[in-house]
Amino acid sequence: MTDNKKWYFNFGFLWTGQMLSLLSTSIIQFVLLWWLTEKTQSAIYLSAATFVLYIPIIFIVPLISPLIDHCSRKKILIAANFGIGAVSALLGISFGFEKVSPIMVLGAIFLRSTFNSIRWSTLEASAAQMVPESHLTQINAVDYILRGITGIAGPFLGAVLLRTTTINSILNVDLIAAAGGSIPLLLISFPKVNSIATHFSVNLVKQIGRSLSDLKSGFYYVRRTPGLFMFLMYVSITNLMLMPAESLLPLVVSTKFHGTEISMSTIGIAFGIGSVLGGIILSIRHGFRSRIKASLTGDLLYGFGIFLIGVASEKQFSLAVFGWALAGIGESMSLANVNALIQAHTRPEMQGRVFSISTSLINISIPVAMVISGPIAEIFGIQFWYIFSGVGILLLAGGMMFVPAMFRLEKPSPAKILDPSYE
């Protein structure tokens, strides 16, 4: 087998198995969130679910990321799949004996998110070494398409399974998917990474110290790049208002619109279709000359979509579906341009650390949002939060259109900025 065919074979086998696991993960997330909705009817519990979902992404995975560079990535992926399967198996047994509490489900969501985050970080690191540089763009494009497909298929299949079988049976299917995702890993070879067989602990400490130093220089770079820090702070504030709307959506569908799991599936599919449409809009040549304006336009669409959900009456579920589809278009347009702006205005040797800092700054507001949104929704009603956040995003994104400092990021000068290690 030629080297070209070998990498194609390895990558194809790797992602075939992992996409099966990703689809199963999307289904289980839908099922558990809907169970929480029906069981608790509480905005606090749904906010807590999003909180525990993001905690591993923001805090845990960055701390253990040195392991990905030093340990066998094949073993890490198998261990992550095993962890996800074990959580599903234990939770399935609990559902079978009807000994399940909302706290147990929140714990399962937290553990699944931890293992899944480790899995995806390892997959992305492996792809960069496994795939020839000339094919990275195409592979990343396929990656996003497949993730979009699972985002649409997951809610649909989750709703169908909830109608036709029990939750413990669905969790057993997830166990099978986790095992199935590990089988292709046994048939392929991974690029070798630095061996730590002898001095694991010493190297790990050094690596963590080096990582902290890199993050410091990355923060310096972000602060010195004209417009970048302001733009990231803006994105963080929008997340503060947008994420609660996403986490509270199952409760809105259930209580306001008196919907079922099929209704929740419908509105989830609408968001996925909107995301695809947003990508198509961005792909149109000369669609947007300014990435800042494109990102802000996406946020305006997201904010207006949330506002529509807030003002829709209980008999206007179709308006809510349309609003959430607009939100999907807006999110796709906004996030794609956020990444493009960071990539375009960061030197290649700084992109890893700058992306780490940017991800932390963007997502750090999410746990805060989850802490405050649940009690606010319980006191003032869910509808209040959707109207409040929708209007807030419209005013914020619209106002930023007229702030010159936001558009400093469009200038080419940031490429010359140096981090402290170069001074």
pLDDT digits (tens, 9 = 90+) for 346-402: 665 565 566 667 777 777 787 788 778 778 877 888 888 899 899 999 999 999 988
Q: What is the reported pLDDT for 110?
A: 93
How many domains would you assign to the chain?
2
Whether residue 47 has pLDDT greater than 60 = yes
How far apart, in whole angstroms, are the C-alpha atoms of residue 34 and residue 45?
11
Q: What is the reported pLDDT for 218?
A: 67
Q: What is the reported pLDDT for 305?
A: 95
Top pLDDT among 355 and 241 is at 241
- Is 201 a domain residue? no
How far apart, in whole angstroms, are the C-alpha atoms of residue 358 and residue 284?
27
- Is 209 a domain residue? no
Pair 191, 240 in one domain: no
Whether residue 106 has pLDDT greater than 70 = yes
70-84 tens-digit pLDDT: 677 788 888 888 898
Among the residue ranges 13-27, 36-50, 341-355, the one predicted with the least confidence is: 341-355
- Is 202 a domain residue? no
Pair 72, 112 in one domain: yes
Whether residue 4 has pLDDT greater than 60 = no
- Is 205 a domain residue? no
Question: Which residue among 195, 224, 245 closes a domain?
Answer: 195
Q: What is the mean pLDDT of residues 92-117?
A: 90
Report the percentage of the chain scoring pLDDT > 90.
17
- Is 306 a domain residue? yes
Pair 223, 187 in one domain: no
Pair 166, 255 in one domain: no
Report the percentage of the chain scoring pLDDT > 70.
74
Q: What is the mean pLDDT of residues 97-110?
A: 92
How far apart, in whole angstroms, are the C-alpha atoms of residue 81 and residue 85?
6
Measured from the Cβ of residue 76, the count of other Cβ atoms closer than 10 Å reads: 21
Question: Which residue among 195, 225, 260 closes a domain?
Answer: 195
Q: What is the reported pLDDT for 321?
A: 95
Pair 50, 130 in one domain: yes
* Cα 254–chain centre separation: 24
Question: In this structure, what CATH number is given to the domain that contains residue 246?
Answer: 1.20.1250.20
Measured from the Cβ of residue 341, the count of other Cβ atoms closer than 10 Å reads: 22
Top pLDDT among 404 and 93 is at 93
The two structure tokens encoding residue 266: 């419908």
Q: What is the reported pLDDT for 392?
A: 93
Pair 73, 155 in one domain: yes
Mean predicted lDDT score pLDDT of the chain? 78
Pair 95, 243 in one domain: no
How far is the first Cα of the chain from the last one, in angstroms, to the nearest whole number? 48
How far apart, in whole angstroms, are the C-alpha atoms of residue 20 and residue 347?
35
Q: To 5 degrees, how large is the angle CA 18–CA 6–CA 83?
A: 25
Whether residue 111 has pLDDT greater than 90 = yes
The two structure tokens encoding residue 410: 């469009």
Q: What is the mean pLDDT of residues 178-197?
A: 67
- Is 208 a domain residue? no
Quick one: which of 325, 299, 276, 298 has its CA closest to 317?
A: 325
Q: Mention every residue, 6+ apart, whose C-beta is less than 8 A from residue 13.
A: 184, 187, 188
Pair 191, 219 in one domain: no
Top pLDDT among 411 and 391 is at 391
Q: What is the mean pLDDT of residues 242-269?
A: 88
- Is 350 a domain residue? yes
- Is 203 a domain residue? no
Q: What is the reported pLDDT for 193?
A: 54
Q: What is the reported pLDDT for 192?
A: 63
Tell me which residue range forms the domain holding 383. Answer: 214-423
Q: What is the reported pLDDT for 317?
A: 94
Pair 230, 172 in one domain: no
Give the amino acid at 232. L
Pair 273, 368 in one domain: yes
Q: What is the reported pLDDT for 391?
A: 94
Tell me the range of 267-271, 285-289, 401-405 where mean pLDDT is highest: 267-271
Separation in Å, CA 99 to CA 27, 39, 65: 22, 13, 35
Q: What is the reported pLDDT for 278?
A: 80
Top pLDDT among 268 and 317 is at 317
How far apart, in whole angstroms, are the C-alpha atoms of residue 139 and residue 330?
24
Question: Which residue among 165, 195, 225 closes a domain?
Answer: 195
Pair 178, 63 in one domain: yes
Top pLDDT among 284 and 142 is at 284
How far apart, in whole angstroms, are the C-alpha atoms of residue 319 and residue 315?
9
Pair 223, 151 in one domain: no
